[in-house]
Amino acid sequence: MRGMLHVLKLLASRQVDEVYGSAALRNAPPKHRIPEQEIPPFDAYQLVHDEVGLDGNSRLNLATFCQTWVEPEVHRLMNECIDKNVIDKDEYPQTAELEARCAHIVGDLWHAPETGHPIGTSTTGSSEAAMLGGMAAKWRWRARMQAAGKPTGKPNFVCGPVQICWHKFARYFEVEMRQVPMEKGRLMLTPEEVVARCDENTIAVVPTLGVTYTLQYEPVEAIARALDDLQRRSGLDVPIHVDGASGGFLAPFLTPELRWDFRLARVRSINASGHKFGLSPLGCGWIVWRSMDDLPEDLIFRVNYLGGDMPTFALNFSRPGGQVVAQYYDFVRLGREGYARIHRSCAETAAWLSEQIAALGPFSMIYDGRGGIPGCTWTLREDAGVPYNLFDLADKVRSRGWLVPAYSLPANVTSLVVQRVLVKNGFSRDMAGLFLQDLKRAMAQLAKHPPGRSLAENEVGSFKHT
């Protein structure tokens, strides 16, 4: 009753108060314990809304691979599905049906042979999908080794410069990661390096279709051929799991002739992020196995307390249904034509931006936006002769809101610092032009006022230059 009176009083005061003069907003709420009293929803909304306004503007986030723009209809569907749990397949059978359809659509995009009964599921993103793919590979390998009466204590997988999720998989699931290090002049896996690291304890080889650091595709087909050859020579049969987090939704539309998917018999499972180039909102990933035989039965749990007999093979249980529904919307809304048009437009902008950045002078392009993920990657030339580095440049363009990270590459090229731009749906050619102007302005300012110098030195410097 007292609480109720408190809210009524607040509501009464709200009629005369301007928002920020309201009793609720006159004081800041405690930050690390729940407040004693409640406040009206509009005041609470304003409070939280204002705080998240301090985040970077996601539309200017050229660092993320994830979608930062979706159609208004997606917002509506997400809203309509906010209360649906994708795991409640018996209660929300139509959402479950859309999930099953999406998994089929994704399998079909990746040329999964229907006769083999491919099987797939949605996940929260590629990380969860990668864990599932890795686990299935480990389980299959263990069963094979046990059947042959061999020890199962030392599984390994072979990969190139993978995303952090594979480091997590290695640690969480106790599988040795045999990572082919990057070298100057070789920033990705090669068939020779892969084969040299495979043995009878290799559960899978994991090439990446769109390396996180450089955006380039690793040569899946050449790796598959080398593994075929290895099998002919040694009898070792090493499967491939493709991490197609980005490329899985790009290659089918931009480079349909590229053979990286289930057209290669050795590819047993593929993961991709719906929320990256699948164009669905954040929180959506996919994994598809080539056939039912590739997903060991003892990884599937059957739950009946929600009604029905529900198979589940995700790491999480409850998850919002909206992302899957939105993914289905994207598929029916865009079709092959729409996905190809959007991705092509991004790829063209990326190639254009890459040419413009190369023409600025101090940079050497590592990836020019052609053949892999729409975007570009560059480094500072050793003879650039500029008084700043890429970290300074990243800081400077951030003052205009652009989030364009600079980072050092992993072993063995940690001394190589690169900067990267992702071109996604929503980053138009016009915005690319605006970014370029800001990049040039940042370079000019840094040249005039080199970082790490005192204000007085910079003043002298700026006088000298003007």
Map residue 187 onto helix, strand or coil: coil
Nearest to 210 by CA among 349, 372, 95: 372
Q: How many beta carbons lie within 10 A of that of residue 213, not counting itself?
A: 24
Angstrom distance (rounded) from CA 402 to CA 412:
29
* Residue with Cβ nearer ligand PLP (165 or 393): 165
165 binds ligand PLP per the rule CB under 6 A: yes
260 binds ligand PLP per the rule CB under 6 A: no
Contact residues for 213 (Cβ-Cβ < 8 A; gap 6+): 161, 182, 187, 377, 407, 409, 410, 418, 420
Provide, rounded to whole angstroms, the least separation between the CB of residue 190 and ligand PLP.
18
280 binds ligand PLP per the rule CB under 6 A: no
Among 22, 122, 201, 208, binds ligand PLP (CB under 6 A): 208
Strand intervals (E) in 41-181: 119-123, 156-159, 176-179
Convert residues 51-70 into a mask of x (bound to ligand PLP by CB under 6 A) and - (unbound).
Answer: --------------x-----
* Residue with Cβ nearer ligand PLP (208 or 379): 208
Region binding ligand PLP by CB under 6 A among candidate stretches 7-15, 38-46, 119-127, 167-175: 119-127
Provide, rounded to whole angstroms, the least separation between the CB of residue 424 and ligand PLP.
12
Residue with the two structure tokens 């950045």:
357
Strand partners for 286: 122, 272
* Residue with Cβ nearer ligand PLP (127 or 269): 127
* Residue with Cβ nearer ligand PLP (107 or 285): 285
Provide, rounded to whole angstroms, the least separation between the CB of residue 183 and ligand PLP.
20
Region binding ligand PLP by CB under 6 A among candidate stretches 45-53, 68-76, 126-134, 349-357: 126-134
Provide, rounded to whole angstroms, the least separation between the CB of residue 346 and ligand PLP.
16
- Helical spans, DSSP H, in 359-404: 390-398
Nearest to 264 by CA among 209, 216, 211, 213: 209
Query: For 90, how many CA atoms within 13 A lie in the half-sphere containing its CB?
Result: 11
Strand partners for 287: 121, 271
Among 95, 179, 212, 269, binds ligand PLP (CB under 6 A): 212
Provide, rounded to whole angstroms, the least separation between the CB of residue 369 and ligand PLP.
16
* Residue with Cβ nearer ligand PLP (127 or 354): 127
Convert residues 240-259 into a mask of x (bound to ligand PLP by CB under 6 A) and - (unbound).
Answer: ---x-xx-------------
Judge if the upstream peptide bond of residue 85 is cis by omega within 30 degrees of 0.
Answer: no
Tokens of 57: 């503007």
Rg of the chain over Cα atoms, rounded to whole angstroms, equals 26
Note whether 308 and 101 are within 8 A (CB).
no
Eight-state DSSP code of residue 266: T
Note whether 121 and 86 are within 8 A (CB).
no
Q: In this structure, which amino acid lies at residue 115?
A: T
* Residue with Cβ nearer ligand PLP (285 or 296): 285
Residue with the two structure tokens 């999406």:
102
Residues in binding contact with ligand PLP, number by CB under 6 A: 15
126 binds ligand PLP per the rule CB under 6 A: yes
Among 202, 269, 273, 280, binds ligand PLP (CB under 6 A): 273
Query: For 343, how many CA atoms within 13 A lie in the half-sphere containing its CB?
Result: 26
214 binds ligand PLP per the rule CB under 6 A: no
> Which residues 59-118 are close enough to bind ligand PLP by CB under 6 A?
65
Provide, rounded to whole angstroms, the least separation between the CB of residue 204 and ligand PLP.
15
Provide, rounded to whole angstroms, the least separation between the CB of residue 168 and ligand PLP.
10
Note whether 241 and 133 are within 8 A (CB).
yes
Nearest residue by C-beta to ligand PLP? Answer: 125
Give the interface with ligand PLP as residue ranges (CB under 6 A): 65, 125-127, 130, 163, 165, 208, 210, 212, 243, 245-246, 273, 285
